[in-house]
Amino acid sequence: MKQKLEENKGIPASLLWILAIISGLSVANLYYNQPLLNRISEDLGISEFTANLIPMTTQIGYALGLLFIIPLGDLYKRKNIIVINFLLLSVATCSIAMSVNVFYILLASLVTGICSVMPQIFIPIAAQFSLPQNKARNVGMMVSGLLTGILGSRVISGFVGEYWGWRTMYYIVAVIMLLCIFVVVRVLPDMPLNFRGTYKGLMKSLFTLYRDNSTIRLVSARAGLCFGSFLALWACLAFKLSGEPFYAGNNIIGMLGLCGVAGALTASFVGSLVHKFGVRFFTFVGCSLIIAAWIIMFIFQNSYLGFIVGIIVIDIGMQCVQIGNQTCALSQAPKATNRVNTIFMTTYFVGGSLGTFLAGTFWHAWGWTGVVCVGIGLTLISLLVTLFTRN
């Protein structure tokens, strides 16, 4: 399995599976806090608004990691970058577990976000070393692993937080990150570098790509707006369900994450159809589903069934938007996949941070109605961007 990967030779299915699993484990660090926000708020004696700064800070950290760390995958050995980041993740998550002050948690959450970008090293590997006819399918497989990690993180952290406390979750994560280092060292093969030069030259080429390729800018922006809508839901769901008429515990809130398994299961399927139906088509479908999901969760906001259906629909819609647009972006510059993915995912998580911040602000002012307005508003902007741009 440790043979050197070469372009146009294909990537082993066994390696794809391992990378997909590690992707899920690493990206889960961004979402463990969401079902636990009410517990963290109570334990530290902070307001709901302040608690919402924790996931927002984590998302900002992720955007910074995408911007400054992921391009390094074109310049240095990817294995070394991955090992260092997993080591820092172990330290950061352990620090969160030990913190008694929200400011230390915010700092450690920022580092956690920065170092959780490893899936965005793996996705370009899948894109660059896949046969052309398998590229979208293999990217979809990576996204499926990533989504499974997101879903599993909410379920597991909800249960652990309910029965053993929120700090226990982060001690467990610190150990998992150390185990990921061992796996990466054992299985990740050598890969050719995509860029020869300095870090300054690398970053300059990154901004040149952004400036000169309007398609990359377009697909990144409309996917980022939809991701902001998606995270608006999870930023405030714990607060909504812990109040009347539900009074749900963390275990129940976490279990709702399982409803998103529909999105994870459809990711590879959507990826296999992108070439046939086109990115624009899937963007229209995805935005329509996300808006429909918000309407369902507004009309039936006092029913578990409403949230179950809404989460299923919004997850499927999000995958239609992300996979189509991300595959399109990665195809624009095959020799600069890490840098292109940096542009796409930085924009994507800036949109996620915006949605998280707006949702927390509107929840504080207008409750669930305000959150729904944020979700629908961001998706409508994404839809308008698609409508008023050329195919």
Domain contains 89: yes
User: What would the mean pLDDT of 58-86 be, rounded to a whole number?
Assistant: 86
- For the chain, the first-to-last Cα distance in angstroms comes to 41
Q: Which residue has the higher pLDDT, 132 or 353?
A: 353
Residue 54 in this model has a pLDDT that exceeds 50: yes
- Which of 121-130, 197-206, 280-289 is most confident? 280-289
Number of independent structural domains in the chain? 1
Residue 361 in this model has a pLDDT that exceeds 80: yes
| Global confidence as pTM | 0.74
Domain contains 7: no
Residue 391 in this model has a pLDDT that exceeds 80: no
Domain contains 6: no
DSSP string, 129-197: TS-GGGHHHHHHHHHHHHHHHHHHHHHHHHHHHHHH-HHHHHHHHHHHHHHHHHHHHHHPPP---S--S
Domain contains 1: no
With contact defined as beta carbons under 8 Å apart, do 210 and 340 qualify?
Answer: no
Q: Which residue has the higher pLDDT, 216 or 125?
A: 216
Determine the Cα–Cα distance for residues 234 and 69; give it in Å rounded to an integer.
26
Say what the pLDDT of residue 4 is: 58
Tokens encoding 259: 């409803």
Q: Which residue has the higher pLDDT, 6 or 269?
A: 269
C-alpha angle with apex 190: 189 to 194, nearest 5 degrees? 130
Tokens encoding 336: 């600069």
Say what the pLDDT of residue 1 is: 45
Window from 23-27, 165-169, 334-338 with minimum mean pLDDT: 334-338
Residue 383 in this model has a pLDDT that exceeds 60: yes
Percent of the chain scored above 70 by pLDDT?
Answer: 91
Say what the pLDDT of residue 381 is: 96
DSSP string, 68-131: HTGGGGGTS-HHHHHHHHHHHHHHHHHHHHH--SHHHHHHHHHHHHHHT-THHHHHHHHHHTS-
Residue 124 in this model has a pLDDT that exceeds 60: yes
Determine the Cα–Cα distance for residues 207 and 204; give it in Å rounded to an integer.
5
Domain contains 260: yes
Domain contains 5: no
Q: What is the residue-averaged pLDDT of the chain?
A: 85
Domain contains 8: no
Tokens encoding 271: 């990826």
With contact defined as beta carbons under 8 Å apart, do 71 and 338 qualify?
Answer: yes
Residue range 30-48, pLDDT digits in tens: 888 888 888 888 888 888 7
Residue range 259-271, pLDDT digits in tens: 776 666 666 666 6
Q: Which run of H or of E encompasses 33? A: none
- Structural domain span for residue 197: 13-387
What CATH number is attached to the domain comprising 212? 1.20.1250.20
340 exposed, middle or buried (CB, 10 Å; 0-12, 13-18, 19+)? buried
Domain contains 2: no
Residue 389 in this model has a pLDDT that exceeds 80: no
Window from 5-19, 77-91, 147-161 with minimum mean pLDDT: 5-19
With contact defined as beta carbons under 8 Å apart, do 81 and 208 qualify?
Answer: no
Peptide bond into 119 cis (omega under 30): no
User: What would the mean pLDDT of 92-119 be, rounded to a whole number?
Assistant: 92
C-alpha angle with apex 327: 192 to 207, nearest 5 degrees? 65
- Which of 106-120, 129-143, 232-246 is most confident? 106-120
Residue range 204-249, pLDDT digits in tens: 888 898 999 989 999 999 999 999 999 899 888 888 988 888 888 7
